[in-house]
Structure 1
Amino acid sequence: MKELIAYILRFGNLNPQQIDFVAEKAKEIVIHKDEYFSEAGKTSRQVGFIVEGITRVCYYNNKGEEITKYFIEENNLVVDLESFDNEIPSTAYVQAITDCRLIVFSKKDWQELLNTIVGWDAIVHKIISKALMLKVERRSPLVSEDATTRYLKFIEIYPTVVNRIPLSYIASYLGITQSSLSRIRKNIR
């Protein structure tokens, strides 16, 4: 819980009663490797904070190929925001790629935080803005680069992730085959 509170306090201030209220609404869960936090076609019903582990956001393209959009590691919120906020079916999967320990809030409890804590909406807005900026920063340099440069940038962007996840997911994220990724890794050692 201290990780979550420290994270929230980076974006705004809470008094001790508000911190207790947040803690009261939070629930800790474990999602095992390969299980889903949220699934395409279903409405996202919770906001999570990753205490331990890594998730990925992925979808299937029109050829049925699995595409990894991005990874979410420790000390970050995880939610399909559009699905959660608008109560519509998600278009992507959020999958645990390692065993994950999360602190989660149900839709009802999240709404209570918004309705009860003065300034909670401002904190949430700052968190979302930062997450969106980070997502763009992480994706933008990968679009026009060659495969080796994309992999080197990936290592730079996700230094704590690269050796903890399957190569197939990294290859999918980079838009290359797994054999190409293996060749690139071999050549840069």
Structure 2
Amino acid sequence: MEQFIDFVLQFGNLNKQQIDLITSKARELVLCKDEFYWEAGKTVRQIGFLTEGVIRVFFYNNKGEEITRYFIDENHLILSGNTIDEVFTPSEYLTAVTECKLVVFSKQDWKDISETIIGWDNIVQKIIAKHHSEKIARRSELVSQDATTRYLDFMEKFPTLVNRVPLSYIASYLGITQSSLSRIRKNIR
């Protein structure tokens, strides 16, 4: 919980009563490896903040193959939908790549925090903007790079993930086969 509060305080100020309110509404959640945080087609009812571990966001293409869209690592907020009142039913899956620990809030508790703490929505918008710009920076160059450059770029942008995520997921994220990724890794050593 302290990790979440410290993270939020980077984007705005909160007093002790506000922090106590947030803390009272939160609960901790542990996901075992390969357990879903959310599944495509099932309504999402909570907001999460990843304090430990790696979550993979993926979908199935029209051939039934898993395609990794991106990874979520520590200190990232996992929101559901564009507004707190929106009934959000994702088309993607979020699953734990490693054991994960999260601070989670029900949508109603998140709404209560938003309605009680003046400036909370502003703090959340700053967090969303930061995460969005990170995501764009991580993905944008992938389309124009060759496979080796994509992998080298991945290692630079995700240095903590290279040894924590299975090669098959990294290959899927990079849009290449696992055997191609193995060759690339062998050639750059």
Aligned to 1:149: 149
Q: SS of 1:13's equivalent?
A: coil
Change (3 A) 1:165 1:84: farther
Partner amino acid for 1:31?
Answer: L
* TM-score normalised by the chain length of structure 1: 0.97
Q: CA deviation at 1:79?
A: 2.9
Instruction: Indicate whether 1:25 and 2:25 are aligned.
Output: yes
Unaligned runs of 5+ in 1: none
Residues in 2 aligned to 1:168 and 1:46: alpha-carbon distance in whole angstroms: 29
Deviations 1:36-95 (A, max 9, x none): 101100111111111110001111111111110110111111234349652131111111
Deviations 1:147-174 (A, max 9, x none): 0000000001100111011000000000
Residues in 1 aligned to 2:170 and 2:130: alpha-carbon distance in whole angstroms: 23
* Amino-acid identity (%): 61
Asked if the contact 1:68–1:172 (Cα under 8 Å) also holds between the matched residues in 2, the reply is yes
* TM-score normalised by the chain length of structure 2: 0.97
Aligned to 2:178: 178
Asked if the contact 1:47–1:78 (Cα under 8 Å) also holds between the matched residues in 2, the reply is yes
Asked if the contact 1:43–1:84 (Cα under 8 Å) also holds between the matched residues in 2, the reply is no
Moved more, 123-132 or 72-81: 72-81
Q: SS of 2:57's equivalent?
A: strand
Q: SS of 1:48's equivalent?
A: strand
Aligned to 2:3: 3
Partner amino acid for 2:184?
Answer: I
Q: CA deviation at 1:186?
A: 0.4
Q: SS of 2:104's equivalent?
A: strand
Partner amino acid for 2:160?
Answer: T
Residues in 2 aligned to 1:45 and 1:84: alpha-carbon distance in whole angstroms: 10
Partner amino acid for 2:18?
Answer: Q
Aligned to 2:106: 106
